[in-house]
Structure 1
Amino acid sequence: MNKLLFIDALRGMAILGVLINHAARNIEVWGILGKNVHLTPWVYQIMAQGSRGVQLFFVASAFTLCLSYERRKNEKNPLLNFFIRRFFRIAPLFYCGFLFYTIRPVLLENKELPSFGHIFSTLTFTNGWNPYWFNAANAIVPGGWSIAVEMTFYLLFPFLFSRIRSLNQAIYVTAGSLLISRVIFFVLDSYFQINDKNLWNIFISGWFPNQLPIFFIGFIFYFIFSNFRSTSIDLDRKYLSEFITKKSFIKLLLAVSIVLLVILPFFHHKLIPISFVFGLDFLLLATCLAIYPSRLLVNRFFCFLGTISFSGYITHFYVLNLAHRALHRLHLNYLPPELYLIVLIGIALAGTIVISYFCYKFIEIPGQTLGRKLIVALEARKLWFLK
């Protein structure tokens, strides 16, 4: 599979959005500038929706899995090889994050070790099915809830991909899963099973059944992309009489998708979750970039950021904390909150890029290489037994 630069760019936008969201939450929710200091409401409302970068990751993940699984379907052990690749794609860096965020403070700062259940469920990626473990995972490895959701999707993906074989099927499954997930959500929201209603709402909003329709949007994009690629549409063939019209139309749709990213934070509807609406906009954005990779978004910066995005997702929490400490030492915490937010994002982004590149090069890549070596070793052992 040739490297698709627009997918790296989408991942770069996703991690940037997540970082912006957490930077804004540092000020508005966790009060790092003081409890009485707040961002302008509309500014925070837009910045907070950077958290939808997680859903953009989900859409991109489903899409790339469809591409790679289809390409490798003729391997001797495609199912086993798939799970090995997925595990070694996530686990090595995630477990290093566990050592850094959980074990290091216990050894160096005399902090208490979380409960066995929290640790075990986080390390086995099963914390997504218990409301107490779900949110607590973020204290073990920040962002751990979304990793659990992703790993659950990996577990089901081969079955789903074997059943969804056309664009129409993908659309029907997406609509059906959205309907079912909303019914489940409203039932559970009315009859919550634990005493902490806030924790219960966090759980039923973020757990896998509520995120599954977002993954299915990635399936829709896969079939749209496959159909587009098979027709060999080329927008750069300037001799076509309709070239200007086609290219202008894609540019218009791309502009609409970008404008929607700013408008959608103010969208509220009880029946359709905002995360799903963002998912549809990500589908439009991805389709436009697949056809016309505008340099505004598909450029070296976003592509590089996308390449190291998983490392960035794990490390940016700590880097934000370091950036905040540095700004306090420089007495810049007295800046107006919006200006402080801009400076915080800039410093944290630079630091995240540096640390994430190191993690990508020395943890992610070796981890993936180890997975490939294991696949080769298992194939060789199987051949030895057959002799």
Structure 2
Amino acid sequence: MKLDYIDALRGIAILSVIWFHCHLYHFSDPAFYSIMDTLGSPAALGVQLFYVLSAFTLFLSLNRRKKTDTGKFNFFIRRFFRIAPMYYVAILYYLYQDAYFFHQPISSTLNYHVYGILANILLLHGLSPVWINSIIPGGWSVGIEVLFYAIVPYLFTRITNLNKAIFFTACSLLFGFILTSILSQITGIQSDKLLNEYLYYYLPYQLPVFGCGIVAYFVVIKGHRHVKPLVAGFALFTVAFLIFSKTYVQHFIPNLPHTLHLFGSIGFALLIIGLAKWPVKLLVNRFTLFMGKISYSAYLTHFGILYWMNKILPQEIIPVHSVLTNILNFNLKFLILLLPIAFVSTITYRLIEEPAQQFGKRLLRRRIEHKEQMVESV
């Protein structure tokens, strides 16, 4: 089953991530940052779109293989060869870039990052605010994704219909918001930049995002439509509670966590449901499909490309003297930057991602054949 709209949405997700990071890397004129920040807020949700799509496709994959896979081991092997090889190459590159930036020997960089390197190699960096972005810029998203991998086989056995999916998403939404709100009031966390950022990154506050993908799976793939009044009421209460908290409670309890990514993820679930029925060409086309195919490589490589292009690309492609010309100039630079990002990502996809995934498939095939031979010999 080839779902073009899923690949296309991956393409849109990576384009929005790159667009947002182009802004953060100062490819827009500093005089107009406030308008670019406003425009960039929705683009910052590209990672959440990846998460929604990930949960959707993981449930789809587990459902397809539930009669053929003999255990969770196969699932984890497939996921490892999907993300780890390219991630390890990215670790090597960003360690070099770090050494270059600080004008120090690579040995000094290795010594400084020794625990962070180990955590990233084990793909456990999402467990620590210190390690989560310590090596690869934006590496937090991979760390949190891996933590979701750890629980998704269990969730698949427990979340078996649309009502359970909505209930799980609403519960994780309510729990994540309340827990994060409580933690954000602790003085030691408020005064620590890493801890403050981690409250956005960590799994409890991203789990409802994955939940939205599970909801979309049951609507699109399973065709579930009926929602029990009690479940619908609880979900609506949860959303209303968040809106009320951010609108009114914020005046009495400051520093409540951001909720844009939570509401955005609900929108992404609706987008998947809509595109499954009406795959409009504006969103599902050859370009978005291509970007979706190389999206993982593009995510890991684009930070490095932006680093070098920032040194050689002029601040102004066209003269900037107003909000409009700044937006035009920025988007021209964004289009220029897409060329080397797409080029490098295509190479890494062909040379690293595809061979690694094929190796993982061969490994699993041999394992299954070996098990079958053992059963026959008994």
When normalised by structure 1's length, the TM-score is 0.81
Which residue of 1 is the match for residue 263 of structure 2?
277
Q: How far 1:178 moved relative to its partner?
A: 0.7
Partner residue of 1:142 out of 137, 140, 157: 137
Alignment of 1:302 with 2:288, yes or no, is yes
Alignment of 1:325 with 2:314, yes or no, is no
CA distance in 1, matches of 2:214, 2:121: 28
Change (3 A) 1:193 1:87: farther
Conserved 8 A contact 1:135-1:203: no
Cα deviation digits, residues 250-287 of structure 1 (max 9, x gap) = xxxxxxxxxxxxxxxxxx65577110110011111111
Which residue of 2 is the match for residue 47 of structure 1?
40
Alignment of 1:178 with 2:173, yes or no, is yes
SS at match of 1:77: coil
Gaps of 5+ in 2: 226-245, 248-255
Q: How far 1:192 moved relative to its partner?
A: 5.1
Structure 2 counterparts to residues 160-239 of structure 1, below 5 A: 160-191=155-186, 193=188, 196-228=191-223
Q: How far 1:191 moved relative to its partner?
A: 1.7
Conserved 8 A contact 1:315-1:355: yes
Which residue of 1 is the match for residue 361 of structure 2?
372
Structure 2 counterparts to residues 18-167 of structure 1, below 5 A: 18-27=17-26, 37-103=30-96, 106=99, 110-111=105-106, 112-113=109-110, 114-136=112-134, 140-167=135-162
Change (3 A) 1:104 1:43: closer
Q: How far 1:127 moved relative to its partner?
A: 1.6
CA distance in 2, matches of 1:134, 1:193: 19
Conserved 8 A contact 1:11-1:305: yes
CA distance in 2, matches of 1:44, 1:190: 26
Alignment of 1:293 with 2:279, yes or no, is yes
Conserved 8 A contact 2:129-2:198: yes
Conserved 8 A contact 2:60-2:217: yes
SS at match of 1:367: helix
CA distance in 1, matches of 2:300, 2:317: 26
SS at match of 2:283: coil
Gaps of 5+ in 1: 231-267
Q: How far 1:197 moved relative to its partner?
A: 2.5
Cα deviation digits, residues 34-71 of structure 1 (max 9, x gap) = 8xx33252332122431200000000000011111100
Cα deviation digits, residues 148-198 of structure 1 (max 9, x gap) = 000010110000010001101111111111111111101111125558422
Q: How far 1:131 moved relative to its partner?
A: 1.7
Which residue of 2 is the match for residue 7 of structure 1?
6
Conserved 8 A contact 1:135-1:145: yes
CA distance in 1, matches of 2:121, 2:338: 27
Q: AA paired with 2:116?
A: H
Change (3 A) 1:223 1:375: same
Change (3 A) 1:154 1:192: farther
Cα deviation digits, residues 13-39 of structure 1 (max 9, x gap) = 100000010011112xxxx678xx332
Q: How far 1:229 moved relative to its partner?
A: 9.0
Please identify, of 17-26 and 183-192, the stretch whose mean Cα deviation from structure 2 is larger. 183-192
Aligned alpha-carbon RMSD (Å): 2.4
Structure 1: 4+ residue segments shifted above 6 A: none
Change (3 A) 1:280 1:289: same
Q: AA paired with 1:291?
A: K
Q: AA paired with 1:124?
A: L
Q: How far 1:75 moved relative to its partner?
A: 1.4
SS at match of 2:44: helix
Aligned-residue identity in percent: 35
Conserved 8 A contact 2:161-2:224: no
Q: How far 1:326 moved relative to its partner?
A: 2.7
CA distance in 1, matches of 2:327, 2:263: 27
Change (3 A) 1:331 1:173: closer
Which residue of 2 is the match for residue 316 of structure 1?
302
Change (3 A) 1:50 1:33: closer
Q: AA paired with 1:126?
A: L
